[in-house]
A = this chain, B = another copy of it.
Amino acid sequence: MSKYWSELVRGLEPYVPGEQPKDRKYIKLNTNENPYPPSPAVLEVIHKHTGNDLRLYPDPDGDILKTAIANYFQVKKKNVFVGNGSDEVLAFAFMTFFKQKKQILYPDITYSFYPVYSRIFEIEAATIPLTGDFRISLADYPIDNGGIIFPNPNAPTGRLLTLEQIESLLKRNTESVVIVDEAYVDFGGNSCIPLINNYPNLLVIQTLSKSRSLAGIRVGFAVGASELIDGLERAKNCFNSYTLDRLALVAATAAINDRIYFETKCQAIIATREWVKNELEKLGFEVIPSAANFVLIQHQNRKAGELFSALRQRGVLVRYFKLPRIDNHLRVTIGTDGEMQEFIKQLQAILSGGRPAT
């Protein structure tokens, strides 16, 4: 703390991302990265653009990427906003749509960056509890609000809402912006993007960090009515003119354009997830049905904290949140088949009381 900090910054509690360990090599199932490499087309296009033009500013509007996203989702370029990871897109969205007098609403168990944004932009927020079986119940969201945000599927539960459920909310909640954070939608859900033409207050946010294997490149985007996108552009252009560098723009464009690679890898992760779910259930875990690249699990008689530590000792990193209602759960990212076989093997050893095979 320093006397030179603003009162705002003194009061902040930063988001804590999952550990990026430097001490040893782990099977890393803690930050929902994709176990498969990016499309070869991505690597090729980066190599091609690594040259003298890096001395020049990138296109501040990111036109090539917006065009690729617009084509992919069959919307217009003016319906697309791009940013330095979906976290940055979320930050601009909070600033643009949620910074107002009424409370915004989000689930009590959800992406833990939402309360952080609320604090930094001085937005009042209220949480709406998930149901007992960890479902988002949109009927519980009162329409007198300053905005609504939720991930679909939700994180860290993995539970999915149907488009009908979301559309039913949009029909009655017309006076504030509804943000659907689709970071994980490609692993089993349907995107809300087709609804943007009917609902001018719907903003859909996606990332290339998960399903397109580009966490290391930092690209996210939003799709919505052009008036919403204009507002995001305005906020962004008051903060940083060039948020996406030249290589990120071409890499993300290539990733969006390689549809077959993307679909193949998503299918592989879904298949692995269903295998893991089955194995975990055999080991006495309750596994919340997931449409994401992770599962939230709870053992019938072993404490999550103990399992977390035992797995870590055996070289497997998972995520343990220690938060109300999920303080006995672990979130496990879906890795490759080989990684998940090893994870299950180590769990079997831990549960049978064996020592780590170091």
Interface residues of A (CB under 8 A from B): 1-2, 4-9, 12-17, 20, 28, 31, 33-38, 42-43, 46-47, 50-60, 84-85, 87-88, 91, 95-100, 116-117, 119-120, 176-177, 200-201, 209, 213-218, 227-228, 230-231, 233-235, 237-248, 251
Q: By the criterion CB–CB under 8 Å, are A15 and B241 in contact? A: yes
| Bound-state Cα–Cα, A228 to B28, Å | 33
Give the interface centre of A13, A54, A239 by most chain B CB atoms within 10 Å. A239
State whether A8 touches B99 (Cβ < 8 A).
yes
Q: How far is the CB of A119 from chain B (nearest CB, A)?
A: 7
Known A88-B240, A227-B4; judge A57-B215 contact (CB<8 A): yes
Which of B34, B57, B230, B243 is in CB contact (< 8 Å) with A2? B230
Query: How many copies of the polypeptide does the oligomer hold?
Result: 2
Evaluate contact between B4 and A231: CB separation under 8 angstroms. yes
Question: Which secondary structure dominates where chain A touches chain B?
Answer: loop
Which 4 interchain pairs have the tightest Cβ spacing?
A: A14-B237, A37-B52, A2-B227, A216-B246
A-B contact pairs, 8 of them (CB 8 A): A9-B235, A17-B57, A20-B57, A37-B55, A57-B216, A84-B84, A218-B242, A245-B248
Task: Give me 10 other A-B pairs in contact (C-beta within 8 A), A36-B55, A116-B238 excluded.
Answer: A5-B234, A6-B96, A12-B235, A17-B242, A33-B55, A38-B54, A47-B50, A84-B84, A87-B240, A216-B246
Given the complex, which residues of B lie within 8 Å of A5, measured CB to CB? Answer: 96-97, 231, 234
Residue of B nearest to A38 (CB): B54
Check A213/B12 contact, CB under 8 A, given A227-B4, A242-B17. Answer: no
Are A85 and B242 closer than 8 Å at their CB atoms? yes
Given contacts A20-B60, A246-B217, contact A228 B54 (CB under 8 A): no
CA A232 – CA B17 in complex, angstroms? 17
